[in-house]
Structure 1
């Protein structure tokens, strides 16, 4: 995530597992798994790093357990929110040297009785006015075991998240309304619909599953939206959001299965979808790339998968498509789309070479293809220069300039 000042925070992970190393007392042989957040300055130099997910030096447990599908958000006061499924949120200082507050939620088949959990959100995005657009999880949804991301909610104007401050989230959309298995104990007090917590039938009336089934004419189809999944919502503005939803996955190929990037307003109405995508030729199921990022200041949304990079205006009209089948854009298959920065740049990460690429987005999206092609050409030259400077081994880059904080 990037700040308005141009600094960039990147979440990454480092793991090693070898069967013969289990139980080894030699640190050089032991298995490990860490998550890292690195802050980069405007010039791309690392300035701070936080390491978490395993025991800190000395053996004490990490203050931030390793989470599933973790994401970052830069809050209006500069604090860094780390959220992971099913609903944990940890707040870090901008210098990544302190955990300011934690709202944990453990994974499990069912809600643990007597467990002192205090979850906040599985993901957070920040609107231009500073409201928190969140995805939260619920137990007891249909026949699913465990807590499952199921609610899109937003904080009230002026509410802030911080030590001792946990804002109420107002539910605006539910993915799946099949809640017959829920009990009163399955609710989270801070996620509310009307005057009461979201639980059972107290939730937005029309589920995204039903709305998208009706919109696409797939009601009752095995390839529709029953048992679908949603990923992190993106803010197209203070009152318009993109919610990625994809249909049930199967063991065989899922290419051609239903998916939608739904446009939902702050009252929960489905305004349509990001259009122009072919279920098979543009399928995000290949590689499971369902991330959508948005530029709320300019009213644009973007998506990258194995088949292309796409850009839409806020009304859902596809304005640009760069196919990875075309020679200038073939390198895009190796990149992951992280976000659109406040400066109006797409931030991409190379999956194997572990480098970041910034692509300036022109005011007119018709010129995006030219900008992307130019950025990919520059990437090759800059990568060569960095290799001479750092001499990476297996594309692992070593830099000792940043302070490392074990949290």
Structure 2
């Protein structure tokens, strides 16, 4: 989910389905549906009206999007494969054009004119077939995985590190018997589609996001901070990609972080974490200096325990869900 600049809530899903909900959550304003259900249903060209599979907003209101394509890694369905930027407003009446910046699979299989994306362009023409950003991210990092290659890798959700610099996560393929140690990259891509660097400092085994499939990233584009949380720690980088803080979950102070998943950054930069079992949101005030992050997180975790105890006395959870008398909107 994503809150657009005008306060409208955008709910996205693959392949390129976007639902716009009123700011007060009272009604659905519009649905952009690709209607591309291959291989489970026949796809009719022009039948759908797609937009994006994920959206993040930059400080100036640009929309950082992902797009799905047919035939990624030879599969017969539609998978996320492109990253693009949209300059205009997304409304119930119109959608902006998306300019493709980066791709994962450089040559999706069995493409035809049916697979062109009219609302997404690359070099002035609709994305599809051979018209796509090259070299792909997997081609740029292929030499780093000498064992298994980047075939069947997947894109995570990109986040804006500034108005014209984005973190694009890519993860190598997963295995049924465990994937810890598989390569991954948090690439820095600018708004011209150039990979300018990466977020440094993570070890493929000791800091693996594949344990528990912790693939989320969050960013505060106003201060140029990026964050990642997995079973082994909470990590924070500056805009240059340098690791400025690492909070190890092996330590007693931060062990409780293993029970949270990373959500996003609030508009003021606060970090939002969701407890995986207790259905509560933890808001951590993120300091301007990331070297002070450890103290902020430690205090937030202590406050979480106290405040949860108070909530239990005030409302009481039912099957781990918090209930109270105020009316709730159900989407």
For residues 188-199 of structure 1, the aligned pairs below 5 Å read 188-199=117-128
Q: Distance in 2 between matches of 1:178 and 1:268?
A: 17
The equivalent of 2:289 in structure 1 is 364
Q: Is 2:133 the counterpart of 1:208? A: no
Query: How far is 1:108 from its partner?
Result: 2.9
Q: State the TM-score, normalizing by the size of structure 1.
A: 0.79
Residues 143/279 of structure 1: CA separation in 2 closer, same or farther (3 Å cut): same
Q: Distance in 2 between matches of 1:276 and 1:237?
A: 20
The equivalent of 1:108 in structure 2 is 38
1:25-54 residue CA offsets vs partner (Å, 9 max, x unmatched) = xxxxxxxxxxxxxxxxxxxxxxxxxxxxxx
Q: Which moved more, 1:374-383 or 1:142-151?
A: 142-151
Query: How far is 1:403 from its partner?
Result: 4.1
Q: Distance in 2 between matches of 1:114 and 1:131?
A: 28
The equivalent of 1:392 in structure 2 is 317
* Partners of 1:347 and 1:359 within 8 A in 2: yes
Q: Distance in 2 between matches of 1:140 and 1:290?
A: 23
1:351 pairs, out of 267, 276, 282, with: 276
For residues 166-185 of structure 1, the aligned pairs below 5 Å read 166-185=95-114
The equivalent of 1:63 in structure 2 is none
Query: How far is 1:393 from its partner?
Result: 2.3
For residues 290-369 of structure 1, the aligned pairs below 5 Å read 290-369=215-294
Query: How far is 1:115 from its partner?
Result: 6.9
Q: CA RMSD in A?
A: 1.4
Q: Distance in 1 between matches of 2:112 and 2:96?
A: 24
Q: Could you tell me which runs of 5 or more consecutive residues in structure 2 were left unpaired when the two chains were aligned.
A: none
Q: Distance in 1 between matches of 2:329 and 2:130?
A: 47
For residues 22-171 of structure 1, the aligned pairs below 5 Å read 72-106=1-35, 107-109=37-39, 112-113=43-44, 116-156=47-87, 159-171=88-100
1:186-205 residue CA offsets vs partner (Å, 9 max, x unmatched) = 11200110221101111112
Query: How far is 1:142 from its partner?
Result: 3.4
1:251-271 residue CA offsets vs partner (Å, 9 max, x unmatched) = 111000001111111111111
The equivalent of 1:231 in structure 2 is 156
Query: How far is 1:223 from its partner?
Result: 2.9
Query: How far is 1:141 from its partner?
Result: 2.5
Query: How far is 1:340 from its partner?
Result: 0.9
Q: Which moved more, 1:76-85 or 1:100-109?
A: 100-109
Q: Could you tell me which runs of 5 or more consecutive residues in structure 1 were left unpaired when the two chains were aligned.
A: 1-71
* Partners of 1:265 and 1:271 within 8 A in 2: yes
* Partners of 1:336 and 1:348 within 8 A in 2: yes
Query: How far is 1:404 from its partner?
Result: 2.7
Q: State the TM-score, normalizing by the size of structure 2.
A: 0.96
Count of aligned residue pairs for this structure pair? 329
